[in-house]
């Protein structure tokens, strides 16, 4: 089975999936849970819309990116581990005595801002796509995405643990 996934230029939400010459438009907008736990991307199916070749030509496909080398991955992981250590003195300097209620209000406002920005970006991506194809006229189907090898599972697991666990090192 011949399959390939290509990204759309300036659109992180949708990808073009090619399976044996048939084209599908994948909606990969991750939920909040998929953002926190990237393993769920491979557990739950993704919504896909079958499209024809003319629509694919109307969409701007991303050029293939260069593969990330192992040295780049180690540099990123090292930066993630060391960066918080350099910020500790700054955080201690800026430590303000505030009440718990003020901290809760600031946290809620920050979460609402992040969620609203995410919703707005998803809206813009969908709006750009609607200029080329109307998704309501297409019948949705669901596709299960799996990585090519177990090595990909391991990479995501390793980076996930490094990024979330760097504070405890």
The answer to whether residue 77 scores a pLDDT higher than 90 is no
The answer to whether residue 168 scores a pLDDT higher than 60 is no
For residue 19, give both structure tokens. 């399976």
What is the tens place of the pLDDT at every residue in 1-42? 677 888 887 777 788 888 888 888 888 776 667 766 767 777
CB of 82 closer than 8 Å to CB of 163: no
Instruction: Give the SS3 label for residue 92.
Output: helix
User: What's the pLDDT score for residue 169?
Assistant: 47
Q: Is the full-model pTM beyond 0.85?
A: no
Helix 70-93 / helix 150-165 crossing angle, nearest 10 deg:
20
């Amino acid at each position: 089975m011949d399959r390939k996934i290509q990204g759309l230029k300036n659109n992180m939400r949708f990808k073009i999936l090619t399976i044996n010459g048939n084209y599908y438009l994948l909606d990969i907008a991750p939920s909040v849970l998929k953002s926190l736990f990237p393993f769920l991307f491979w557990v739950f199916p993704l919504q896909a819309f079958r499209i024809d070749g003319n629509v694919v030509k109307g969409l701007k496909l991303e050029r293939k990116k260069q593969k990330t080398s192992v040295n780049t991955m180690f540099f990123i992981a090292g930066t993630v581990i060391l960066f918080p250590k350099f910020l500790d003195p700054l955080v201690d300097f800026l430590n303000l005595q505030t009440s718990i209620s003020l901290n809760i209000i600031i946290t809620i406002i920050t979460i609402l801002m992040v969620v609203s920005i995410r919703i707005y970006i998803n809206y813009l991506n969908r709006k750009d796509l609607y200029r080329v194809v109307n998704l309501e006229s297409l019948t949705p189907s669901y596709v299960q995405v799996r990585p090519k090898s177990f090595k990909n599972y391991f990479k995501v697991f390793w980076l996930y643990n490094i990024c979330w666990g760097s504070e405890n090192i």
